[in-house]
Structure 1
Amino acid sequence: MSTTETFTAYASLKVGEKLQQWQYEPLPLGTNDIEIQVTHNGLCHTDIHMRDNDWDVSSFPLVAGHEVVGNVTRIGPNVTSLKIGDRVGFGWIRNSCRVCDACLRGEENVCRQGYTGLIVGNHGGFADKLRASADFAYKIPDGLDSASAAPLLCAGITVYTPLRTYIKYPGTKVGVIGIGGLGHLAIKFARAMGAEVTAFSTSPNKETEAKEFGAHHFCNWNSQEEITAASSSIDLLISAVSSEVDWEKAFSLLAKNGVFCLVGLPVSMLNIPLLPLVFDQKAVVGSVVGGRRFMKEMLEFAAIHQIKPMIETMSISQINEAMDKVSANKARYRIVLTSE
């Protein structure tokens, strides 16, 4: 006699609703899948966007959570890369075509056919268990505790990928706009990569923290004197904020051949000055999470250099309170939800 298997999750049953306990019957374990017992979830603002269906891609009931760490409890018959008991993490990408040129380079984040998001049409990590492809599960290095590792699976890889791509030599001058969940990790990674780092923020009271994270310099975004002093000096400027940015001010900071990279998603349209774009050979680029190649590299790099996010932990049962705190911009700098 067989019994129905259920997972217990925290789900939003309708658009915008608070999360509540909910049970669902998982799909059968595929031949290339693993099942994990979830221990930690990083809380990303994207989970809130998905709850509210801000991007019109959410399906309900929605079980969010895409910075997931847990221990392997079951493996499909074709899985050889992992074993029961391994500590692994899942990030934003659940699957991709595997055969295009981007995927073959380990850049599944720009899969030609489009990747599958962990919580787009699927249930994610805000649950006691999770099933997904072993190919997109990442072993957590021994040098990283699970609470610190969880935010690296989205926030960490989101800033690591452009830094890894555009820092060409030691001493590259990197600027980071926004000292938040993404920005504080960008400072840490850039410093460890040998860059000279300047933090740009509208909050002067964050200067001490920014320098503790590894920034060599701090610049008040609202001080025209400080912005002028830093003009034409930045080789790579990363915008890690979701609010509108003064594009002309940002562009004025770039050196010749400088790159302005957006990892935050402001709602406004870009208004880029054309003449400096052309005559100073500046560039505007975007970057979205990262593929398997950089994800594995990033976790090892973080373990070696002990790059860990500043976190506060809360119980998964406090998930609605945690979401409210993130929405109010009161999290410093990432909240990690622990399973009970």
Structure 2
Amino acid sequence: MIRAYAAKQPRGRFELIEYDPGPLKSDDIEIAVESCGLCHSDLSLLDDEWGMSEYPLVPGHEVVGTVTGVGREVTHLKPGDKVGVGWFSRSCLVCDQCMDGDHNMCPDAEQIAVGRYGGFADKVRVQASWANRLPDELDTRSAGPLFCGGITVFNPLVQFDVKPTDRVGVIGIGGLGHMALQFLSAWGCEVTAFTSTGAKADEARSFGAHRVVDSRDKDALKAEKGRYDFILSTVAVPLDWQRYFAALAPRGRLHTVGAVSEPFQVEAFTLIGGQKSLSGTPLGSPATIRKMLDFCARHGIAPQIEVMKMSEIDAAFDRLREGKPRYRIVLENDFR
């Protein structure tokens, strides 16, 4: 039996449940959960913001733990291995996307907490190909958020060949943005943080930003015209996107990983005249996750976390809903 924390209705409080996962599939592994990061996507699932949640809902998709069981087809992992798992739990492995190495774009990909029970539990099961062994240099306590928040902002650097000589801006210095600053600084870019919170300016610099721009100051944004090769938006709210497109250099790209619910408003000639682009990416493949983990180990990159107990899950969600974390919450397993 697996014990987990489940909400039985949208915006509900969490209750302890037990469920039988059945026999272990031949290509699955079972993981004893040591900790699981709390992501804003978990809050969106709890509130059924995307219309895909099923109740009882067990969220949680930034899992770190120890392999306790492997299916008969699994050869690259063994009991005792320390692994991490993120948003995806399974892909078909045979479609064009999977065969090209883009498992995260598999049309039949399954999510760890959508249509099944997720990581706020004492154990979780996933397809072995979606579990990545942790480098010894990484702190297991803080590694969980790398498997969603981290790969979300790392994957675009790989997909769009961001260069060390590029000037890059990051919009929103929160759970995603503070990791993006660290990646880009270690990548070698000139990094600018766009933030509406003046108190975060010093923190942004500590994460690697060379410059900080007040995103509420229209004159300050206007002064950035034509500067950036790449702007990464991590916010989930609509902004005056035209100003950010104006800040792009010719052939520049505005890339979003924030789940903005409203359409982007941009004039066609803004794109045409400077050959500019708008794009988005869905997390990353297992291979890209491995690259990210190695990069973090090499450069000492880690999310800034607050640690709470899994039994404090309601208080943790309340804290996240109020926008208080600096910058990610990790819930440690305290099942008895």
Superposed pair shares fold, TM > 0.5: yes
Indicate yes or no: 2:177 matched with 1:180. no
Match of 1:212 in 2: 206
Give the CA deviation at 1:36.
1.1
The residue identity in structure 2 corresponding to 1:304 is R
CA distance in 2, matches of 1:164, 1:229: 29
Cα distance in 1 for partners of 2:141, 2:267 equals 42
> In the alignment, which residue of structure 1 is the partner of 2:270?
276
Q: TM-score, normalised by structure 1?
A: 0.96
User: Residue 100 of structure 1: CA displacement?
Assistant: 2.2
Distance 1:95 1:46 in 2: 18
Aligned residue type for 1:218: V
Aligned length: 334
Following superposition, the deviation at residue 256 of structure 1 comes to: 0.6
Match of 2:219 among 225, 229, 250: 225
Match of 2:134 among 133, 140, 143: 140
> Which secondary structure state, in structure 2, belongs to the residue aligned with residue 250 of structure 1?
helix
CA drift of 1:249 comes to 1.4
Kindly, what percent of the aligned residue pairs are identical? 43
Q: Once the two structures are superposed, what CA deviation does each residue of 1:73-107 show, in whole Å capped at 9, x if it has no partner?
A: 11112211111100001111111121223212321
Alpha-carbon displacement from aligned partner over 1:89-148 (angstroms, at most 9, x marks no partner): 11111111212232123211222x241111111111100011121111110111111122
CA distance in 2, matches of 1:334, 1:240: 14
Deviations 1:255-302 (A, max 9, x none): 110000010012211111221200100000011111112111111111
Partner of 1:34: 29
CA distance in 1, matches of 2:167, 2:261: 27
- Counterparts of 1:167 and 1:320 in 2: how far apart (Å)? 40
* SS of corresponding position for 1:198: strand
CA RMSD of aligned residues (A): 1.1
* Equivalent residue in structure 2 for 1:260, among 254, 260, 268: 254
For the residues of structure 1 that align with 2:236 and 2:22, how far apart are their CA atoms? Answer: 35
Q: Measure the CA separation in 2 of the matches of 1:95 and 1:131.
A: 10
Gaps of 5+ in 2: none
Deviation at 1:315, TM superposition (A): 0.4
State the match for 2:96 in structure 1. 101
Tell me, in whole angstroms, the C-alpha distance in 1 between the residues paired with 2:324 and 2:267.
Answer: 34
Q: Which runs of 4+ in 1 moved over 4 A?
A: none
The one-letter code of the counterpart of 1:30 is K
2:86 aligns with: 91
Q: Which amino acid aligns with 1:254?
A: L
Which amino acid letter does the alignment assign opposite residue 256 of structure 2? Answer: L
Partners of 1:291 and 1:194 in 2: how far apart?
Answer: 23
Equivalent residue, structure 1, for 2:165: 171
User: Structure 1 CA distance, aligned partners of 2:332 and 2:195?
Assistant: 30
**Hey, what does 2:241 align to over in structure 1?**
247
Counterpart of 1:110 in structure 2: which amino acid?
Answer: M
Where does structure 1 lack aligned partners over 5 or more consecutive residues? Answer: 1-5
Shift of 1:228: 2.0
User: What displacement does 1:18 show?
Assistant: 0.9
| Counterpart contact for 1:105–1:293, Cα < 8 Å | no
Alpha carbons of 1:299 and 1:223: their partners in 2 closer, same or farther (altered >3 Å)? same
CA distance in 1 between counterparts of 2:313 and 2:90 reads: 27
Aligned position for 2:331 = 337
Aligned partner of 1:60 among 32, 55, 64: 55
Cα pair distance change 1:309/1:105, threshold 3 Å: same
The separation in 2 between residues aligned to 1:56 and 1:223, in whole angstroms, is 35
Q: CA deviation at 1:225?
A: 2.7
**Counterpart in 1 of 2:13?**
18
CA distance in 1, matches of 2:307, 2:223: 39
Aligned to 2:295: 301
Conserved 8 A contact 1:167-1:195: no
3-state SS, counterpart of residue 270 of structure 2: helix
